[in-house]
Structure 1
Amino acid sequence: MKRRSFLSSGAALGTLASLTAGGLSRPALAAGRDRLRLGLIGTGMRGQVLLRELLRREDVEVVALCDIEPIMLGRALAMTEKADKPRPQSYGQSGDKLAYRKLLEQKGLDGVIIATPWELHAPMAIDAMNAKVAVGCEVVAGITLQDHWDVLRTQQRSGTPYMLLENVCYRRDVMAVLQMVRAGLFGELVHLQGGYQHDLRAVKFNSGDPSKPYGGGVEIGDKAWSEARWRTEHSVQRNGELYPSHGIGPCAMFTNIHRGNRFTHINAFASKARGLQDYVGRKMSAKDHPNAKLKYKLGDVVTTTLACENGETILLQHDTSLPRPYSLGFRVQGTDGLWMDLNHSVHIEGLSKPHEWEDFKRYQDKFDHPLWKKYASAAEGAGHGGMDYFVIHAFVEALKAEAPMPIDVYDAVAWSAITPLSEQSIAEGFKTLPFPDFTEGLWKSRKPIFAFGDKY
């Protein structure tokens, strides 16, 4: 079918919607459960955003909360009370760092959301899967490469469902572009880009006041609050693509990674590190503060390139220590055109004027994903422009239906393993490394189920 004919054919678009919504090779939905009993480990700023989405649902009962920070745990309990929901059992008030294991022992627990600092994700997910409690894990599946193999092996051995809660895969324009990719509007894909380009200086430092978790000071570690308490240390100690899944997630689903395609090689480069030290010493006028003397391993701009089995290249950029507006820098380019999110534009050969951009809105409206058409009103007010509604919705609906997780353990470990592999590449003089095949050959026969279902 010619692309011009496709754009003008409502019937064809309906057919595409049924294909992408109906589940390519996805099993028929099981009878499943109508209601879930879920726990939440980590009730900080991110945990509270996810809790809000859980409390909005009539098919979820939040039965357990865990956090070792009493202030945040108290805020989460207050949220459940304000929502007029039963008071969950709470764990961690004593400061016991292993209190989450008591939560996992709670009878009748169907699943758990993990929203803790990155370094805790792997051990907590492993303990949950061993306890036969389904896992919805915030992004970053592990720290070391071994962490990722351990998460994978635990899921394979236990059979417990695991989903990485990557919300950008549910961004409205990203899902419309997925429709366009599936329809062949871009032709054969050749090159993609994405990343995490976000000024986090006021996230990595604050005053230590729990009522002001972002900015206002230059404290980190024990004297700080929220992410500055733990996240900044990663910038001090590590140099690599520290937060890959926002960028790689959509690029991986566009290119059918693990479903007929895979990553084969990776390399990474890092710039010098100047932004955080400059922020503390000059821009915050704190040159006499002890943190002004800190040295950071994390380059201000880290550029990572991946090669794919089917010949595509993917470029990621991590840029969080310099002043800049927020952007994930998406680009999807093929033999018939390209889309770029930064200028909200698209160019399709034969449809667009030669050498000119078109505004993406017309395509967004035409290819708006069935999930967004169905649930846009329900997602209003949800975090990150509605994306948080959809990622929680996906986890809940898949778990209820006893269906495969749309972002499964293979996706989780491969997307997240980009971090330790990029660190290794940089440390070894920007060396190109082979990318592990976490599927151990299954990528050849697995079908593209990440086309999203009617329900999730």
Structure 2
Amino acid sequence: MKLNRKNFLKVAGFATAGMMVKPSQAGTNSPFSKNHVQKFNMHGYSAPKLDKVRVGFIGVGSRGSGTVVRLSSIEGVEIKALCDLIPDRVDSVIKLLKNEFPAQKPMSYSGSPDLWKEVCEREDIDLIYIATPWQLHAPIAIYAMEHGKHVYTELPVGVTLEECWQVVETSENTRRHCFMGCGSAHDGMAAVILNMVRQGFFGEIIHGEGHYIHDRVSDNKLRWERDKSNNNWFGYRPWRLQENVNRNGNLYPAHGLGPVSQMMDINYGDKMEYLVSISSNDFTMGHKMKEMAEIDDYYKPYVGLNLRGNINTTIIRTHKGRTIMLQHDISSPRPGHRFDLISGNKGIYRARPDRIATSEEWLPEEEFNSLKEKYTPEITKKFNEKRNQAGGSHGSRGYERVTASDWRLIDCLRNGLPLEMDVYDAALWSAITPLSEWSVARQGETVKIPDFTCGAWRTNKRGMDINIQQGGTTNLI
């Protein structure tokens, strides 16, 4: 399709259309309520064990190709299919696998927009991984689960509230897992802080902060110059740029929200009640489009469009009276931030640099390091042990890129254990985006947050087995 202004606006308005509310709902702060009865509680559900986890990849650009390497580095994973609209991407990953993981011999699917359905329909695949543009995440996830597959999707799981509900309903109906990869408390300092929270170091949790702050605008060479040798791809991402047109809200909340939600036991002990959201004007993206249009005609259709404000701030209040602050800013020259703060009535943690306080003064570095060592959880120790074991063997060094979250997902599937981030987490964390857009459009009006667990949060057992009481048997290779 030629990118003229009329067609571009049609495409760019796709996601916004999904958050529109009926006229009768315009005066209420519950425009996204839904009469849903939980058919089966996927939280705590143990699917049958999979000795081998056979994976089909849909989308193998930069994010997808990296995940192929990471999952190939985990014991018991067999890559069965690689699918992408662009043939060169599939060919590149096939070549990479031949060099690093010659035992992996996936079939390739490319050149047609509907080939992903064939991958989902295959009988010899257990898990579908999705790394496509956002608007395809929910349709692929739903189709995959309907065809008997578990799902591992990049965030978000859906771009509208209706899509989030459809994914939940499909997971419950099919009893197939839907795991959304994002920032979690599996890795790094977040795992240590989660352990400290659970052992009561910070007391009763009051407040948390998580952000997606990442300068994707300043560097023209890295972000905006198109690579002619790679289908005119550019670092900011063509599909991401379209997502920033005619949308104004917190477009990427889950990386910062995930760890905070786990520390507050959201969906298993507490739930989000409502939010308010406010965005600044755009002070950089419009200027950048004018600047780039003078260099490259590709950017001319973007000049003068309504682009997302620089920074969005969203405040959430939970049922237990806690608060969460989320910020989104990928177009200002700021150092990156994700999980940033957790505060209780006995202490506080803040990131970058990592520090802890139990009064108005930060603890000395020596004392902080001692606490970090003391509270490093078993999941971190076990994962590091597996990496050290892999490092002592010969062959690929792909294990160095595996995250604890990747490893634990495969480990849970192979051991028939409940996933530590389930479909309700995926739906809730994704729903913050359309909810924030609704609030921003109404000058920060309060909006109720749907309960995707339908009340089961009151009795759901705590997720995230950071002490590895079960499983932990899967190796890295």
Residues 57 and 81, structure 2, Cα contact 8 Å, conserved in 1:
yes
Measure the CA separation in 1 of the matches of 2:294 and 2:371.
Answer: 47
**Residues 379 and 274 (structure 1 numbering): CA distance in 2 closer, same or farther, change over 3 Å?**
farther
Aligned mate of 1:327, from 322, 325, 337: 337
2:169 maps to what in 1?
153
- Alpha-carbon deviation of 1:107? 2.1
- Could you say what secondary structure the match of 1:328 adopts? strand
1:230 lines up with 2:239 in the alignment: yes
Question: What CA deviation, in whole Å up to 9, does each residue of 1:35-85 have, x standing for no partner?
Answer: 221111110000011100122123111011110111111111112211212
Query: 2:225 is matched with which residue?
Result: 207
Corresponding position of 1:305: 315
Please tell me the residue identity of whatever aligns with 1:423. E
Indicate conservation of the 8 Å contact 2:216/2:330, yes or no: yes
Q: Does 1:60 align with 2:77?
A: yes
Q: 355-364 vs 46-55, which deviates more?
A: 355-364
Distance 1:369 1:210 in 2: 46
Cα separation, 1, equivalents of 2:425 and 2:87: 34
CA deviation string 1:300-346 (max 9, x = no partner): 00000100011100000001101111122511111101000122110
Identical aligned residues as a percent: 30
Q: Which amino acid in the other structure matches residue 307 of structure 1?
A: R
Q: Does 1:355 align with 2:361?
A: yes
Question: 1:47 and 1:277 mapped to 2: Cα distance?
Answer: 30
Asked if the contact 1:379–1:390 (Cα under 8 Å) also holds between the matched residues in 2, the reply is no
For residue 140 of structure 2, give the secondary structure of its aligned residue in structure 1: helix
Query: Closer, same or farther in 2 for the Cα pair 1:338/1:210, shift >3 Å?
Result: farther
Q: C-alpha distance in 2, partners of 1:328/1:449?
A: 21
Work out whether residues 134 and 160 of structure 1, in 8 Å CA contact, stay in contact via their aligned partners in 2.
yes
3-state DSSP class of the match of 2:71?
A: helix
Which residues of structure 2 form unaligned runs of 5+?
A: 1-42, 473-477
Q: What is the TM-score when the length of structure 1 is the normalising length?
A: 0.84
Q: What residue number does 1:314 align with?
A: 324
CA contact (8 A) 1:44 1:226 kept: no
Q: In 2 relative to 1, CA 298–246 (structure 1 residues): closer, same or farther, beyond 3 Å?
A: same
CA offsets 1:273-322 (integer angstroms, 9 cap, x no match) = 11222334459975996267243431100000100011100000001101
**Structure 2 residue identity aligned to 1:236:** V
Alignment correspondent of 1:241:
250
Cα offset, 1:227, TM superposition: 5.3
Shift of the 386–331 alpha-carbon distance from structure 1 to 2, 3 Å rule, reads: farther
- Which SS does the other structure have where 1:85 is aligned? coil
Amino acid corresponding to residue 242 of structure 1 in structure 2? L
CA deviation after TM superposition for structure 1 residue 376, in Å? 2.1
Give the secondary-structure state (helix, strand or coil) at the position aligned to 1:330: strand
Change (3 A) 1:379 1:312: farther
Q: Is the alpha carbon distance of 1:210 and 1:331 closer, same or farther for their aligned partners in structure 2, counting shifts above 3 Å?
A: farther
Partner of 1:186: 202
Shift of the 450–364 alpha-carbon distance from structure 1 to 2, 3 Å rule, reads same
Tell me if the contact between 2:84 and 2:109 (Cα under 8 Å) persists in the aligned partners: yes
CA distance 1:47–1:178, shift in 2 (3 Å): same
Q: Is the 8 A contact 1:205 1:224 kept in 2?
A: no
Between the aligned partners of 1:256 and 1:276, the Cα distance in structure 2 is 37
Supply the distance in 2 between the matched residues of 1:86 and 1:355 (Cα, whole angstroms).
53
2:260 aligns with 251
Judged with a 3 Å threshold, the aligned counterparts in structure 2 of structure 1 residues 285 and 366 are, in CA distance, closer, same or farther, namely farther
Preserved CA contact (<8 Å) 1:249 1:415: yes
CA distance in 1, matches of 2:436, 2:137: 19
Asked whether the 8 Å contact 2:355–2:362 carries over to 1, the reply is no
The answer for unaligned runs of 5 or more in structure 1 is 1-24, 213-221
Q: Assess, with a 3 A threshold, how the Cα gap between structure 1 residues 292 and 64 changes in structure 2: closer, same or farther.
A: closer
> RMSD value over aligned CA atoms?
2.8
Q: Distance in 1 between matches of 2:213 and 2:233?
A: 23
Is contact 1:41-1:113 (8 Å) kept? yes
**Change in CA separation of 1:336 and 1:37 when aligned onto 2, cut-off 3 Å:** same
Distance 2:255 2:460 in 1: 23
Displacement of 1:161 = 1.3
Alignment of 1:99 with 2:109, yes or no, is no
2:46 equivalent to 1:49: no
1:449 deviates by 2.0
Aligned partner of 2:413 in structure 1 is 399
Q: Who is 1:432 aligned against?
A: 446
- Give 3-state SS (helix, strand or coil) of 1:237's partner: coil
Instruction: Say if 2:73 and 2:402, in contact at 8 Å, map to a contact too.
Output: no
Partner amino acid, structure 2, of 1:46: R
TM-score, scaled to structure 2: 0.81
Q: CA deviation at 1:405?
A: 1.2
Q: Is the 8 A contact 2:121 2:147 kept in 1?
A: yes
Contact 2:278 2:313 in 1 (8 A): yes
Query: Relative to 1, partners in 2 of residues 1:300 and 1:34: Cα closer, same or farther, differing over 3 Å?
Result: same
The amino acid of 1:408's aligned partner reads: D
Structure 1's 125 and 182: CA in aligned 2 closer, same or farther, altered over 3 A? Answer: same
